[in-house]
Amino acid sequence: MTDETKATASDTGASAIDELSINTIRTLAMDAVQKANSGHPGTPMGLAPLGYVLYSRVMRHNPADPHWRNRDRFVLSAGHACMLQYACLHLSGYDLSLEDIEQFRQWQSRTPGHPEFHHTAGIEVSTGPLGQGVGNAVGFALAEAHLAAQFNRPGGEIVDHHTYFIASDGDMEEGISSEASSLAGYLGLGKLIGFYDDNKITIEGSTDLAYHDDVAMRYESYGWAVHRLDLNPSLERIEEAIAEAQSIADRPSLIIAPTHIAFGSPNKQDTAGAHGSPLGEEEIALTKKALGWDYPEPFTVPDEVREHFEAVKQRGIEAEREWDELFESYATEHADLAEQFTRLVNRVDPELPAASEAPTFETGEQVATRAASGKALNWLAPHIPELIGGSADLAPSTSTNLDDYPSVRRHDFGGRNLHFGIREHAMGAIVNAMTIAGLRAYGATFLVFSDYMRGSIRLAAIMEIPSIFVFTHDSIGVGEDGPTHQPVEQVASLRAMPNLEVIRPADAHETVLAWLWVLGRSGEPTAFALSRQKLPVLDRSAIPDDAIERGGYVYRDSDGTPELILIGTGSEVSLCLDAADILAAEGTKVRVVSMPSTDRFDKQDAEYRDSILPPAIRRRISVEAGTTFGWERWVTDDGYGVGVDHFGASAPAGGIRKNRLRRQPGSQVKPRPASVATRALLKKSR
């Protein structure tokens, strides 16, 4: 242990109760990880003074009402250090008991191994994969700036809060933090304040093994204000640095905070051994002795500390009461805005127009589903004031611009079009946080680049939040750009993700109806897979408008019992219809099923599924311009998939379809109708 570690309460300017409170956070972290025999004790121990200052002195929050609309947001991007947050939440009076702390990392406990949204009171967003929380914090700050521009009026600043985040060395190494921080600096998000926990330790050892960035210079180049703390700063100096950051309104701030991992541990401080493993009973005893901790029982919270934190609760109650009075006055003067704001923050779905009012398309007209998606967005935007989004520098290609609304610009946040730049991963994390903040946010790029943002999509699915991801150029139909830009495995990969609704609409009508359905519901995230190429508009006169909500439906049936079922998605539904015409002319009875969402179809009851795909009809062919992987669930052993089980090539789309759309490799099924169908499908694809 260094002399710096042995700083006393008086050396750091901390009062006895401050020091006792900070050490309570440290001991709870040690004890919880030790009991679980799993977790990360070192970072919470090093960050305890910062956590204490944030929760007890700086942040405006009300533990009695974790969802208070104007609370400050806190994001622990270094989610492995969650015992820091759990300890602070417990002491502050959130609905998180000492028994919950004792059940850290156990089955069905409210203290999981990384923070989980909707699971623990006071957790704003699920974090854990490093860097995601930095992107989320940017999203929360951007949402605050946008809502303030939309709703605040002179004397009625009802949206006025800060977003704080803590990032570790690992967060800073991840590319997503650079993407998000670059955008935040450009936009000038002055109410975003980050803390860089510079403890110089990773799982493998010192950060010197692979990392020597000058983080201060990086963030200054992004346009952030950078503040530096010394090792073991006084609590007053921490507060002072935060106050300095709060005073800078035109750009975000990063406070660099050097810390000792496992502060106070005689043998584990500043070592990788304290990062992701329990300290051990003997080392905990030595550490508590070094910290002057006089309580022999684990999980002890001294009465003085509980009494001290009562003031935090009362300040939170008073802060919300003052805001309620402000909002009451605001509502008197701005009734319509107040009603809209209340609906938004309470996540009440807006009243949407009827499907009969949707944009119309002529049967046989050639319309790319990405273009139809753009029409749907612009049709629905006036009805959904909270709809906001953009693309990773691809708005013209993805058709995601809201034509009647301005863009969000640097220091000008009132628009509804976002320019994320070529930052797909950050875009996903930002969209997630803006969605949690009450907006209906979407982000768009080419489907093949969904791989760049998969971590953010997965977290949206884990949190079950209604983020919207618009992926265009969804197949080998991309053509000349070649295999690097032609998605093959992406749709199947996204379908494999639990809780993610993947929709690949067949034509313009199905696309518009899909948007109407998605924006009228809350819950799971949605991924659209939309075509670059133009597709024929199909005759839907006999199809109910809500058919898409079932995930799959009979688009065209045969006279009498079908001999064969063709199941298509997206651009291949029209191909199935053409092939069915050929087969019908040869005397084969064919049913054509459009299945825009296999996941939604799978959630229907067995009676409905069997009505679409009768178990007795075993001859089935799935048709999709992507991998056939996954279709075996629906085509059975007597059927097979027609798809693209190879990477594409650089050539016009027609030539690629001719040479790449093929029967599933290895299939030995050769019933006559299926064989004829395959020839018909391949013929029509040319």
Q: Helix (H) and strand (E) counts for the chain? A: 24, 19
What DSSP string runs through 355-390? GGGS----TT-EEEHHHHHHHHHHHHGGG-TTEEEE
Query: What are φ and ψ of residue 567, in 5° steps?
Result: -110, 115
Confirm whether pTM is higher than 0.85. Answer: yes
Whether 19 contacts 26, CB under 8 Å: no
* Cα–Cα distance measured from residue 101 to residue 32, given in angstroms and rounded to the nearest whole number: 6
The catalytic residue positions are: 424
pLDDT confidence of residue 681: 58
pLDDT confidence of residue 654: 80
Q: How many CA atoms lie within 13 A of 402 on its CB side?
A: 26
Q: What is the end-to-end Cα distance of the chain in Å, rounded? A: 74
Question: Quick one: which H or E segment has residue 594?
Answer: strand 590-594
Strands 163-168 and 192-198: parallel
pLDDT confidence of residue 9: 42
Instruction: Give pLDDT < 50 ranges for the chain.
Output: 1-10, 668-673, 676, 686
Q: Show me where the domains of the chain are located.
A: 16-316, 355-536, 549-685
Percent over 90 (pLDDT), the chain? 89
pLDDT confidence of residue 670: 44
pLDDT confidence of residue 653: 83
R_g (Cα) of the chain, nearest Å: 28
Residue in 637, 644, 636 with CA at minimum distance from that of residue 664:
644
Distance of CA 623 to the CA centre of its chain: 31
Question: 601 burial class (0-12, 13-18, 19+ CB within 10 angstroms)?
Answer: buried
Q: What is the pLDDT of residues 663-683, one digit of tens each?
A: 766 554 443 445 545 655 555
CATH superfamily of 16-316: Thiamin diphosphate (ThDP)-binding fold, Pyr/PP domains (3.40.50.970)
Q: Which long-range contacts (CB under 8 A, 24 or more apart) does 605-614 make?
A: 608/550, 612/552, 612/553, 612/554, 613/552, 613/565, 613/567
- Same fold yes or no, 355-536 and 549-685: yes
pLDDT confidence of residue 594: 98
User: What's the angle, vertex CA 581, arms to CA 576 and CA 582, rounded to 5?
Assistant: 100
Domain 355-536 has CATH 3.40.50.970: yes
Q: What is the pLDDT of residues 224-280, one digit of tens each?
A: 999 999 999 999 999 999 999 999 999 999 999 999 999 999 999 999 999 999 999
Q: What residues contact 32, with CB distance under 8 A and at least 6 apart?
A: 39, 83, 86, 101, 102, 104, 111, 299
Please name the fold of domain 549-685.
Rossmann fold (3.40.50)
Q: What residues contact 21, with CB distance under 8 A and at least 6 apart?
A: 52, 56, 91, 305, 308, 309
Q: Which amino acid appears at position 21 of this protein?
A: S
